[in-house]
A and B are shown apart, each in its own frame.
Chain A
């Protein structure tokens, strides 16, 4: 075993090390149009599929008249539940063995509006669209449960795994001198990535290639393999660039099954891309939620008890739990706590993961409630958070690995000018605009997993990194190049990172803000092994120019090899490889336990069952943030504009601050949308989402967003990842909506507990 020196850079030694502000290495491809996204592959013989969806929310498909569609020009086939070959049911993302039952991605039994019922495949996209309009579907409709407020929705199913309790929360609440109790609601929200979901599927014999935007190539390959009963190795997923996912592109979905079936039936590649309206029902957005938060406190605002009850919607036959007590149970110190949660079945697509599932709506409840408590006891909203600061994880009863939340409050307040805030509601104004300042905190657990990477040092001294992990804008290409460059001692532009192909070294899901921590660790390990081999060759190979030195270590800097004391020659990596007759050094590294079996490795990368708990061992690991937000509310019209944001965030060590800041700002902006704009509106007659497009489901536009200032207060957290980072991607959305609601209260004196905060709620 050779010893080598690696630089753990703070960027002071150059512009490319881990921690530096290197620009996106995939940037040039994206700004010139050269970046080919999954469905943009140009394949010979491509056929085009278009989905037909149910127009009722509950009932049965009585019949589908396909005669006119089949007779339309260019039509190759019309798939319906009657003629589509069934697949096998696949295991879920935990790897739970599935029932031995057929799976049909086109439905006869309708449980929500927008369910796939048929598909048309034609020679051209235009022909498929035109023919799909000719198919006549008739239904036997029954009444639907349209949403949580439906009279037939009921109280739902208790989810015992969500129950958290310590002390005697009810008794302590009853005995508390100050009591707050309020209900907080969040509507259906949608990920709405700019790139719609879709794929190209191609069979060659029993080998399936799927070009599909994916947050989890290996997990989706497993599902396709299980559906079709072919070995995992027979399925190749390709996803070089992903046009946004926000949680929605991690799983293989019904439309993918339809396209793959059509490709097999027709023996030619088939492309199927959802229309924008279909993206509102082809997979689930964030579930609508209801929470009640009660806080009992003493006269100084010191919390004695928190009682929390939550409900989220799920579908008729699927299960989604949005963990509503997640932030509630850890943000503040309290001697007594109780949280329970139910889920309610409604006629909707099964909801799914959307940026910080659980923590996000949970924070809307608790971070609004603590603000209400602050006004009730007459204490500054920032001060009350410090008075109830949790010095350890109140639920796990463990020390925080790192918690720079106090530092976040201090840095954010200072920069924002919080001390100049006039405490009384409606006490700050500019003409007819009421000005409000609000604060709220956010958090997200550090989700950890094992990772794997391939690192190659090539004959010309360049380096190649391969992983089936992905870059949907977080900066994976860039930070892995930085990690390999720093570990090996080569310039970052000598490193080529290849991602998004399931033939590469395996990777688990890109979700839960875990990828950067997992993959920098894996690349660091693989690159360290490659460096060991390189230095070992240089020292021990008789043909090496360093052989005569009898050194026990060498240093690689800027792609050149020297002895630490500067004796002997200086040669480039390419020269060294040439002298010892090698055309490459290749090292695959993974961070799994050394004795892991092949089965465990497969499970690690294709399920989430082997993720490491964030409270494992002695520590509780979370990222933290504090948002300070100014709103301006038009007194006459009730319109709310966010005019200023200062957020201080603790994501541990940042691998690339330039890219992390972008992701933080993106989370804050999505939070502004959640607070003020975003809401799936249900037509109560038909159980349909009526605003299923980007003009009616309002996401923030450039004109809605002010300057946003983000401040990093993190410190390296050795308990959270190999290189000291914590999660970035999901953290920053958490706490934005309550900070805005709190600012709106400060501006207007009106407490809005139902998102989004639209003008009719204020006038």
Chain B
């Protein structure tokens, strides 16, 4: 079935109209139909966290979400995190300063998770950060630096 449908998405504050099949995931809609490739496909089955985006401010796995499910809801991706003038979000800046990534492939998902982790109030201690960031795998092994970055950004966001 080709069965195209028209959906309207709000991504990083911009409106998009897409003619796609209803089975297209939010992840593939972002990457293949909108050219927003910052959101990564690591497993396509909800196990690695690389595709983490925000839907109405909550962290969501874009690979387990159909694009049609987020019609009318606000989606934020890594491309929409910095300010319009390019000023980095505190979490992005902390990731750079703490060298919280190597290959960079899990990084957008880590950063989106970290922003939500801080917003949820789950960055109170290193152990809490580790627990609430455990859904985002990093095979390069940047975890100690990710914890340091989240801790640093949490302090900056609070001040």
Contacts and interface: CB of A to CB of B under 8 A. Distances in A.
A194 B103 contact: yes
A77 interface: no
A243 B104 contact: yes
Contacts of B77: 33
Contacts of B141: 665-670, 700, 705
Interface in A634-657: none
Interface in B71-107: 77-79, 81-82, 88, 92, 95-97, 99, 101-107
Interface stretch (A22-30, A323-331, A596-604): A22-30
Interface of B is mostly: loop
A194 B133 contact: no
B23 A126 contact: yes
A196 B41 contact: yes
Contact of A473 (B39, B42, B45, B104): B104
A125 interface: yes
Interface string B17-60: 00001011000100110011111111111011010000000000
Contacts, number: 183
Given A74-B2, A276-B44, A33 B102 contact: no
A397 B48 CA distance: 47
A244 B95 CA distance: 18
A193 interface: yes
Contact of A663 (B48, B78, B102, B129): B102
B35 A276 contact: no
B144 interface: yes
B107 A699 contact: no
B158 interface: no
B123 interface: no
Contact of B43 (A667, A694, A701): A694
Contact of B96 (A23, A243, A273, A670): A23
Contact of B39 (A33, A35, A705): A33
Interface in B103-142: 103-108, 111, 126, 129-131, 133-142
B140 A473 contact: yes
B8 interface: no
Instruction: Please classify how large the interface on chain B is, using the bins under 10, 10 to 19, 20 to 34, 35 or more.
Output: 35 or more
B146 interface: yes
A40 B99 CA distance: 24
Interface centre among B37, B104, B146 (most CB of A within 10 A): B104
A739 B24 CA distance: 47
Contact of B137 (A246, A665, A694): A694
A419 interface: no
A708 B144 contact: yes
B44 A194 contact: no
A704 to B, nearest CB: 8
Contacts of A127: 2
Given A23-B96, A702-B146, A243 B130 contact: no
A344 to B, nearest CB: 28
A276 B142 contact: no
A28 B1 CA distance: 42
A42 interface: yes
A588 interface: no
B101 A30 contact: yes
B102 A666 contact: yes
A659 to B, nearest CB: 7
B106 A33 contact: no
B142 to A, nearest CB: 7
Contacts of A96: none
B38 A32 contact: yes
B126 to A, nearest CB: 8
Contact of B147 (A24, A32, A702): A702
A563 interface: no
B61 to A, nearest CB: 12
A32 B39 CA distance: 10
Contacts of A33: 36-39, 77-79, 108
A72 B102 CA distance: 41
Nearest to B108: A33
A458 B37 CA distance: 32
Interface centre among B79, B101, B126, B147 (most CB of A within 10 A): B101
Contacts of A475: 102
Contacts of A658: 99
Nearest to B35: A42
A195 B40 contact: yes
Interface in A648-686: 658-659, 661-663, 665-670
Contacts of B101: 24, 27, 30-31, 473
Nearest to B1: A73
A587 B96 CA distance: 32
Interface centre among A23, A241, A242, A701 (most CB of B within 10 A): A701
B42 to A, nearest CB: 5
Contacts of B42: 194-196, 243, 276, 694
A195 B43 contact: no
Contacts of B24: 126
A31 B32 contact: no
Nearest to A279: B43
A524 to B, nearest CB: 24
A693 B63 CA distance: 15
B97 A244 contact: no
A473 B99 contact: no
A703 B21 contact: no
Contact of B102 (A28, A73, A474): A474
Q: Which 8 A-B pairs have the closest CB atoms?
A: A33-B38, A473-B102, A243-B105, A669-B141, A30-B104, A666-B141, A473-B103, A33-B78
Given A32-B81, A702-B133, 15 more contacts: A23-B99, A30-B107, A32-B92, A36-B37, A73-B2, A125-B32, A194-B140, A243-B103, A473-B140, A662-B142, A662-B145, A666-B142, A699-B137, A699-B139, A701-B135
6 contacts: A27-B95, A33-B79, A194-B137, A662-B102, A665-B145, A695-B47
